[in-house]
């Protein structure tokens, strides 16, 4: 194996999304990730449709570059192998309910008493204190953290995001924490306990909205596709559809008005500065819509892109992948013949690798059991 994490052994006791996403990122960067699964396998193996060759595409999304080993922790022989894996690992990551691994001797304190160099990462939904009993499903966290209160029309019901966004953010946080702990181990020789919970990741991921509350005392609320602090920053109708239009600063707004054929709006006292536009958004929007109605979305996109005004058509997922391909971002890679979305991290000297397809259940069980059984 190659990559900047070559030689790092990761014992991956996590399942579903946040943990497997984190370990796939590490595996792409060269870590040897052993995916430990219960006899029934990772839950996402059964989350279907859609499928590819009768394998859940959900599972395929976050499990490339790993080796699968099935262990039944209630069976003494398998538990011994799990202990041996933990003793040899550089990193152990798990997302069991807080405290659940203690009865197997796989909790942080027990494992690190034997392997002091281990970086032990725990992912939970709501932490290991007052929220230890709450299961960590992304939809619960979207509701609990406030994201759903921000998503949807102002006078409509709350909506979830279209993807398990906080699982992904928590996975990223876990990967960053693990890398920081490995760097610390280089200096001290000792590992440490990396803890990530979805609720804390969510509150961090809500960035300007949580800041509005804790720093400004403001109460964010649903605004549909509008932005609380920037105008325009939303989809606007054109002659044949909608186009996302953004004026992130006053210069961009002036250019937007010129291209739309309404340069006078940029000098209107109601709209001259962003703060003015925010205060008078209900007056500005219909004026922009009227100007945009003269051409179609594709034509406006070309015109505005040419002068540096941020804008975008509202694509399907297929169109989004095609756009990235057309821009030279090479979004699709094949790991062992199985297509997936590439690791978004670019490294000039040691780029991510795509050696192994997402493993079948216990695909590497024989070789891993033999290795763990050997003294």
CATH number at residue 92: 3.40.50.10540
Residue 227 counted as domain residue: no
Q: Is 167 a catalytic residue?
A: yes
261 and 357 assigned to the same domain: no
Nearest CA-CA partner of 18 in 97, 131, 115, 94: 94
**DSSP structural state of residue 359:** P
Q: Which of 50, 69, 160 is nearest to 373 (CA)?
A: 69
- What residue has token string 């001259």? 272
Contact status, residue 350 vs residue 371, Cβ threshold 8 Å:
no
129 and 19 co-located in one domain = yes
369 and 258 housed in the same domain = no
Question: 137 in helix, strand or coil?
Answer: coil
Same domain for 251 and 365, yes or no, is: no
| Same domain (yes/no): 134, 183 | yes
Q: What is the per-residue pLDDT across 138-187, written as a single tens digit (0 to 9) for each? A: 999 999 999 999 999 999 999 999 999 999 999 999 999 999 999 999 99
Evaluated on CA atoms 98, 103, 104, 110, the torsion sign reads positive
> Same structural domain for residues 238 and 107?
no
Catalytic residue among 28, 167, 197, 362: 167
Q: Are residues 61 and 154 in the same domain?
A: yes
Contact call for residues 343 and 25 (beta carbons, < 8 A): yes
277 part of a folded domain: yes
The per-residue pLDDT for 318 is: 97
* Residue 240 and residue 101 in one domain: no
pLDDT of the chain, 375 residues: tens digit per residue: 689 999 999 999 999 999 999 999 999 999 999 999 999 999 999 999 999 999 999 999 999 999 999 999 999 999 999 999 999 999 999 999 999 999 999 999 999 999 999 999 999 999 999 999 999 999 999 999 999 999 999 999 999 999 999 999 999 999 999 999 999 999 999 999 999 999 999 999 999 999 999 999 999 999 999 999 999 999 999 999 999 999 999 999 999 999 999 999 999 999 999 999 999 999 999 999 999 999 999 999 999 999 999 999 999 999 999 999 999 999 999 999 999 999 999 999 999 999 999 999 999 999 999 999 996
For 246-277, the DSSP string reads E--SHHHHHHHHHHHT-GGGGGSTTTSSHHHH
Q: Of 287, 306, 323, which residue sits at a domain end?
A: 323
Distance CA 34, CA 10 (A): 6
Same domain, yes or no, for 83 and 198? Answer: yes
The answer to the question of residue 339 being in a domain is yes
Burial of 269 (0-12, 13-18, 19+ CB in 10 A): exposed
Q: Which of 181, 187, 37, 191 is nearest to 114 (CA)?
A: 191
Q: Using CA atoms, how far apart are residues 67 and 213, in angstroms rounded to an integer?
A: 44
Rounded to 10°, the helix 365-373/76-88 angle is 80
Say if 172 falls within a structural domain.
yes
Among 255, 286, 258, which residue's Cα sits nearest to residue 270? Answer: 286
Give the count of domains, the chain.
2
Q: What is the pLDDT of residues 323-340, one digit of tens each?
A: 999 999 999 999 999 999
Q: List the beta strands (DSSP E) in the chain.
A: 9-13, 32-37, 51-52, 55-56, 66-70, 91-94, 119-124, 193-197, 233-237, 242-246, 311-313, 332-335, 338-341
Q: Is residue 214 part of a domain?
A: no
Q: Which residues pair with 36 in a beta bridge?
A: 69
Torsion of Cα atoms, 97 then 101 then 107 then 111, to 10°: -150
pTM above threshold 0.85: yes
Same domain, 28 and 95: yes
Residue 290 structural domain: 233-323
**Domain membership flag for residue 221:** no
Whether residue 355 is contained in a domain is answered as yes
């Amino acid at each position: 194996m190659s990559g900047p994490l070559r030689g790092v052994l990761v014992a991956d006791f996590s399942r579903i999304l946040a943990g497997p996403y984190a370990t796939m990122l590490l595996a792409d960067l060269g870590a040897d990730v052993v995916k430990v699964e219960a006899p029934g396998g990772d839950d996402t193996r059964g989350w279907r449709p859609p499928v590819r060759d009768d394998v859940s595409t959900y599972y395929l999304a976050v499990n490339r570059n790993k080796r699968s080993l099935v262990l039944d922790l209630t069976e003494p022989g398998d538990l011994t192998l799990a202990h041996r894996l933990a003793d040899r690992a550089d990193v152990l990551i798990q997302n069991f309910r807080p405290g659940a691994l203690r009865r197997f001797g796989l909790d942080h304190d027990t494992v690190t008493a034997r392997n002091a160099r281990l970086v032990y990462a725990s992912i939970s939904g709501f932490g290991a204190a007052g929220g230890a009993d709450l299961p960590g499903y992304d939809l619960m966290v979207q509701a609990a953290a406030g994201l759903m209160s921000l998503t949807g029309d102002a006078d409509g019901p709350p909506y979830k995001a279209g993807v398990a966004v906080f699982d992904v953010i928590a996975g990223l946080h876990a990967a960053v924490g693990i890398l920081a702990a490995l760097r610390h181990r280089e200096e001290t020789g000792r590992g440490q306990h990396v803890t990530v919970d979805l609720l804390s990741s969510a509150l961090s991921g809500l960035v300007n909205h949580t800041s509005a509350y804790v720093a400004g005392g403001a109460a964010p609320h649903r605004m549909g596709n509008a932005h609380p602090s920037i105008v325009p920053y939303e989809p606007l109708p054109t002659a044949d559809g909608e186009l996302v239009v953004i004026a992130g600063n006053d210069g961009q707004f002036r250019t937007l008005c010129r291209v739309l054929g309404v340069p006078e709006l940029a000098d209107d006292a109601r709209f001259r500065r962003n703060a003015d536009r925010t205060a008078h958004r209900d007056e500005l929007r219909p004026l922009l819509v009227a100007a945009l109605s003269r051409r179609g979305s594709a034509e406006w996109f070309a015109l505005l892109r040419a002068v540096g005004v941020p804008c975008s058509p509202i694509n399907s997922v297929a169109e989004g992948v095609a756009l990235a391909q057309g821009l030279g971002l090479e979004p699709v890679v094949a790991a062992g013949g199985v297509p997936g979305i590439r690791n978004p991290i670019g490294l000039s000297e040691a780029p991510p690798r795509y050696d192994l397809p997402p493993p079948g259940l216990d695909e590497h069980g024989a070789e891993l059991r033999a290795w763990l059984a050997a003294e």
